[in-house]
A and B are shown apart, each in its own frame.
Chain A
């Protein structure tokens, strides 16, 4: 199995609103904890280490690209 990056959410706007709503009223520390809990819950649901590593690599690459871009705007 590989990571699905094609659209897979039936109701993308509903999901996005739920994600933002979940953080409502939290300070940065609490939001960070919520995100960590969410990552752990979803990771267990996915289960497949290869898929998780693929997701981690794509997530990380995006961050690395952005910081490189920041050096040379």
Chain B
């Protein structure tokens, strides 16, 4: 098949361990799998000062049509990792989704109807381009080691660490690590070596996935058809990717023969019928998939931690695969870095398990509901599905029931043990546990994006009092008490205020009040943000003991003398 993409080929290097050369001390972290999730972990840990070794059984990036849609939150994480720009620049931004039933528009949604955000609702990009951008960033940081064509063939662990058996063309060798992150995908070998149960369901349906190179005149939107004239009784999904490559998913039904359906002589007429004209196109990739929703009971198994598809798998409707995997990395790495540095107890990692299992369940629920709508499991569910689509033409209420995939949103970890429950009333959906909203601000005399400034450590964000003197006095005292554990920010309303505060803290200007509005902030409101930019706690007024208690909670530090109740009461 023709292709617009030439995959890079990375050199296999004979590992020194095969010749008796070996690292004296164990590796802090070995990452299995150099896909988007493994690379996100590698970059994040490198930024946090942790040496990582990445093992991959192949010597190139992803092939074929895999992840394509990266959600706003994922782009913000990539920004923090330093590789958001190449993904957004090369990718195709979009925010409008249209759902058609037969020959008519049934439902339309706008995923980001407000302005004042750095990143769009979604960017579409072939997974191989994403991986290349991430690899480039990892190599630029220069500290991590990636070993290509090094396949994990066994794993065992004890109280002190993990022994990883690695197979190469030149033979096998052992590595020792304090922690292993398994990012080796839906068919995770690490999962098999540990004998872990992979629970869930397979959907009795088949989908043909085609990457087509063509000059398409479809708008840059997600288009989904139920029962279109060109593919009767089934559904079709169309996404635009970079380089004039379009991804088309044709629902085929359970009885379709995957080998027959993959043949170009069967694929080409389907695409021709959809295009409705004789414009030229080239097939770049064709495969037939069944969809599954599964997850591990736990993502944390001693010193082996699972992330991405190795931990949980969803159907593609809703773009919740790669997005949730990169969000796993975002959640895990700061915690692991603290544990490795002896700053937090290993029990902090339990919060990774709880938070990301919660996210996986949310993603599996949404993806299962969408798949059940697209592929009804019984005659009656088909009747209701068709009734919804019929009613949606004329009745707005039914449009909200049309489910062609509820698109990836970050999980708000509402019940996280790392969060401090609100003691005052705040409006909006940005609750403790949810990621910080973005907003345009000024910093250092230049326009900047809020999320571009924060992350990687805890942030204390004070919205300035009406009196600059009060603010300065409070920030000075705050710095004295918390500067070792958190970075302190002041949000001022004018450039002049920011200038006068700049000597005591990092001062940003929120001239249009967008940040204050999104944080539901009043003068004196204080937020504590986690290193992954999620909200940990917030108050209407600063109380040192409350902040100290909240910081200990974020870092998972048990303290007999200041338990949570006392801190909140203080």
Q: Tell me if B398 counts as interface (CB < 8 A to partner A).
A: yes
Q: Tell me if B384 counts as interface (CB < 8 A to partner A).
A: yes
Across the interface, name the chain A residue whose C-beta is closest to B385: A36
> Is A40 a contact partner of B386 (Cβ separation < 8 A)?
no
In the bound complex, CA of A37 to CA of B390 (Å): 9
Residues on B with beta carbons closer than 8 Å to the beta carbon of A44:
397-398
Number of A-B contacts (CB under 8 A): 25
Residues on B with beta carbons closer than 8 Å to the beta carbon of A36:
380, 383-384, 386-387
> Is B397 a contact partner of A33 (Cβ separation < 8 A)?
no
Q: Tell me if A3 counts as interface (CB < 8 A to partner B).
A: no
Q: Tell me if B441 counts as interface (CB < 8 A to partner A).
A: no
> Is A33 a contact partner of B391 (Cβ separation < 8 A)?
no
In the bound complex, CA of A36 to CA of B382 (Å): 10
Q: Counting chain B CB atoms within 10 Å of each CB, which of A32, A33, A37 scores highest? A: A37
Can you list, as one digit per residue, whether each of B352-392 has a CB less than 8 Å from chain A (1) or not (0)? 00000000000000000000000000001001101110110
Question: If A37-B390, A40-B388, A41-B391 touch, does A32 touch B398 (CB 8 Å cutoff)?
Answer: no
Q: How many interface residues does B have (CB within 8 Å)?
A: 12
In the bound complex, CA of A32 to CA of B401 (Å): 19
Shortest beta-carbon distance from A42 to chain B in Å: 11
> Is B398 a contact partner of A40 (Cβ separation < 8 A)?
yes
- From 18 to 50 in chain A, residues with beta carbon under 8 angstroms from any chain B beta carbon are 32-33, 36-37, 39-41, 44
Shortest beta-carbon distance from A35 to chain B in Å: 8
Residues on A with beta carbons closer than 8 Å to the beta carbon of B387:
33, 36-37, 40
Q: Counting chain A CB atoms within 10 Å of each CB, which of B386, B387, B390 scores highest? A: B387
Residues on B with beta carbons closer than 8 Å to the beta carbon of A32:
380, 383
In the bound complex, CA of A44 to CA of B387 (Å): 13
Residues on A with beta carbons closer than 8 Å to the beta carbon of B384:
36, 39-40
> Is A40 a contact partner of B383 (Cβ separation < 8 A)?
no
In the bound complex, CA of A40 to CA of B401 (Å): 10
In the bound complex, CA of A33 to CA of B379 (Å): 11
In the bound complex, CA of A42 to CA of B383 (Å): 16
> Is B388 a contact partner of A33 (Cβ separation < 8 A)?
no
Shortest beta-carbon distance from A62 to chain B in Å: 16
Across the interface, name the chain B residue whose C-beta is closest to A37: B387
Residues on A with beta carbons closer than 8 Å to the beta carbon of B401:
40
Shortest beta-carbon distance from B360 to chain A in Å: 24
Shortest beta-carbon distance from A30 to chain B in Å: 11
Residues on A with beta carbons closer than 8 Å to the beta carbon of B390:
33, 37
Residues on A with beta carbons closer than 8 Å to the beta carbon of B391:
37, 40-41
> Is A33 a contact partner of B386 (Cβ separation < 8 A)?
yes
Residues on B with beta carbons closer than 8 Å to the beta carbon of A40:
384, 387-388, 391, 398, 401
Shortest beta-carbon distance from B368 to chain A in Å: 19
> Is B383 a contact partner of A33 (Cβ separation < 8 A)?
yes
In the bound complex, CA of A41 to CA of B394 (Å): 12
In the bound complex, CA of A41 to CA of B390 (Å): 12
In the bound complex, CA of A40 to CA of B398 (Å): 8
In the bound complex, CA of A33 to CA of B390 (Å): 10
Query: Can you show 25 pairs from A to B with CB atoms below 8 A apart?
Result: A32-B380, A32-B383, A33-B383, A33-B386, A33-B387, A33-B390, A36-B380, A36-B383, A36-B384, A36-B386, A36-B387, A37-B387, A37-B390, A37-B391, A39-B384, A40-B384, A40-B387, A40-B388, A40-B391, A40-B398, A40-B401, A41-B391, A41-B395, A44-B397, A44-B398
Given contacts A40-B388, A41-B391, 7 further A-B contacts (CB under 8 A): A33-B383, A36-B380, A36-B386, A40-B384, A40-B387, A41-B395, A44-B397
Q: 8 closest A-B pairs (Cβ-Cβ)?
A: A36-B387, A44-B397, A37-B387, A36-B383, A36-B384, A32-B383, A40-B387, A33-B387
